[in-house]
């Protein structure tokens, strides 16, 4: 078997066999197939696509290219949740403790932020003392005693994805739906959970800009998960504007704390209640979504969900005084107010522009080596559908950068708000639920 023949076969629109996909992935991970041939294959896949059977096989071979975690020694049905990325997405920090408080087991491995999208690990590390490098017996002990852990991925998981993504990033193949699906699902499957909920974001702040692409990706990933023996479902969530009001690591942690007290923004709470109800049903804790939502609402009302969050942070070495007293988080030295130039209604709030602006203020990374300013970011005062008077506060920028650096960013943030005279209705945060 020769790699060049497989490239030509896919280039001409034909299906690759299981054996041919195995030859490619195994050979590439071992260094027997060079980068340029793997890049050519990925470009052929971008143009010609793959069948669901091909994608499932690709995912399976990527999953088994390295260590595959066995979580059978952990209590209960292990549930995991994965977001395809967005702006202001602190859902895991709220949702994990919520479902754990209701009796599900969440053993979650998360990633870091890059570009305009935030990473759950970075948000956690804005809490002094928190470590996300937890493995082995300590990880098992935490999950079994508390019911939840959010940690970093081990370096031995899915080496094929690390190599392939590095190529995709520099060869223009990041947008390939089959490759996105295989990348996401190989990591989730290798992480060992029994059930997976996928949050596929759609809109300006997401990788999937329209519903058709988001729906296609979600259906493919749900099919992969179920083909490979995991209970997999998906929600399509709106990312045309940021989720919640806070964008930036410490700012988002404080919003997550407020949400666990029942005081979170409406869109964030709705996403957590809907997603959590699905996860509780997947974990066989409840018989239907209505029962699941009721349990989650009670976990918030009683303080049980917040208590789980405190215990998780304490178990991972964090200073819980910051959770109990969020005012302790250090603020950036500059807070720049953005005010409306006219009265009317916010008709759109560009999530991509807000995400990029937060990154430029110091709240994110342009490259993997960049150091994040945990205090930097943006607090929104208005969202789509809100009325605003001329001169009213739209947003506040938090940054330690100097005026010559942040003034152009402030202009960009102001332009992200489009204000019109007619009242508009915001898009619901849950666009669709996909169960098979």
Whole-angstrom distance, CA of residue 65 vs CA of residue 206: 28
DSSP code at position 328: G
Task: Map tokens 């929104």 to a residue.
Answer: 380
Q: To which residue do tokens 């110091």 refer?
A: 362
Distance between alpha carbon 294 and the CA centroid of its chain, in Å?
25
Backbone angles phi, psi at 282, to 5 degrees: -60, -35
CB atoms within 10 A of CB 426: 18
And the tokens for 382?
């208005």
C-alpha dist (Å) from residue 174 to 179, 289, 365: 8, 35, 18
Q: Name residue, tokens 């300013």.
A: 373
Task: Report, in angstroms and rounded to the nearest whole number, the Rg of the chain calculated over CA atoms.
Answer: 22
Whole-angstrom CA distances from 380 to 219, 241, 243, 264, 412 are: 33, 11, 10, 13, 14
Beta-bridge partner residues of 236:
200, 432
Tell me the two tokens of residue 224: 């992969």
Distance of CA 285 to the CA centre of its chain: 24
- Helix boundaries (H) for 316-428: 321-324, 351-358, 403-416
Q: What is the dihedral of CA 342, 343, 346, 352, to 10 degrees?
A: 20
Contact yes or no for 91/272 (Cβ under 8 A): yes
Helix (H) or strand (E) holding 339: strand 334-339
Q: Can you count the helices (H) and strands (E) in the chain? A: 17, 13
Strand spans (E) along 374-429: 377-380, 387-388, 393-399, 417-420
In angstroms, the first-to-last Cα distance of the chain is 36
Q: Phi/psi at 349 (nearest 5 deg)?
A: -140, 100
Annotated catalytic sites, by residue? 82, 161, 168, 183, 187
The tokens describing 401, both together, are 């950068």
* Distance from C-alpha of 331 to C-alpha of 83, rounded to nearest angstrom: 28
């Amino acid at each position: 078997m020769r790699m060049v023949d497989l490239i030509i076969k896919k280039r001409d629109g034909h299906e690759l066999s299981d054996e041919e996909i195995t030859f490619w992935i195994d050979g590439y991970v071992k260094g027997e197939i060079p980068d340029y041939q793997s890049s050519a294959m990925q470009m052929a896949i971008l143009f010609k696509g793959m069948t669901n059977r091909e994608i499932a096989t690709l995912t399976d071979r990527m999953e088994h290219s390295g260590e595959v975690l066995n979580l059978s020694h952990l209590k209960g049905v292990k549930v995991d949740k994965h977001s395809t990325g967005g702006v202001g997405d602190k859902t895991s920090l709220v949702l994990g403790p919520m479902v754990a408080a209701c009796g599900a087991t969440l053993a979650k491995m998360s990633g870091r932020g890059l570009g305009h999208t935030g990473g759950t690990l970075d948000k956690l590390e804005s809490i002094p003392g928190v470590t996300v490098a937890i493995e082995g017996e300590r990880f098992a002990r935490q999950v079994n005693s508390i019911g939840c852990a959010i940690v970093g991925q081990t370096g031995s998981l899915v080496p094929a994805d690390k190599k392939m993504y590095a190529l995709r990033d520099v060869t223009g193949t990041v947008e390939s739906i089959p490759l996105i699906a295989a990348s996401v699902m190989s990591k989730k499957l290798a992480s060992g959970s029994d059930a997976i909920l996928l949050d596929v974001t759609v809109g300006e702040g997401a990788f999937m800009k329209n519903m058709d692409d988001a729906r296609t990706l979600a259906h493919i990933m749900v099919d992969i998960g179920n083909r490979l023996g995991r209970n997999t479902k998906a929600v399509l969530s709106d990312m045309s504007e940021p989720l919640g009001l806070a964008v930036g690591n410490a700012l988002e942690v404080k919003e997550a704390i407020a949400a666990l007290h029942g005081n979170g923004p409406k869109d964030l709470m709705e996403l957590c209640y809907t997603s959590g109800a699905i996860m509780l049903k997947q974990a066989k804790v409840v018989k239907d979504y209505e029962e699941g939502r009721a349990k989650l609402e009670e976990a918030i009302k009683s303080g049980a969900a917040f208590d789980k969050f405190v215990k998780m942070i304490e178990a991972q070495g964090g200073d819980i005084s910051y959770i109990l007293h969020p005012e302790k988080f250090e603020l950036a030295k500059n807070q720049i107010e953005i005010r409306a130039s006219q009265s009317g209604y916010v008709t759109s709030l560009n999530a991509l522009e807000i995400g990029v602006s937060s990154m430029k203020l110091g709240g994110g990374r342009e490259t993997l080596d960049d150091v994040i300013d945990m205090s930097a970011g943006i607090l929104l005062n208005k969202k789509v559908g809100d009325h605003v008077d001329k001169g009213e506060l739209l947003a506040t920028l938090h940054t330690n950068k100097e005026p010559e650096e942040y003034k152009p960013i402030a202009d960009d943030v102001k332009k992200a708000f489009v204000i019109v005279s007619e009242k508009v209705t915001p898009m619901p945060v849950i666009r669709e639920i996909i169960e098979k």
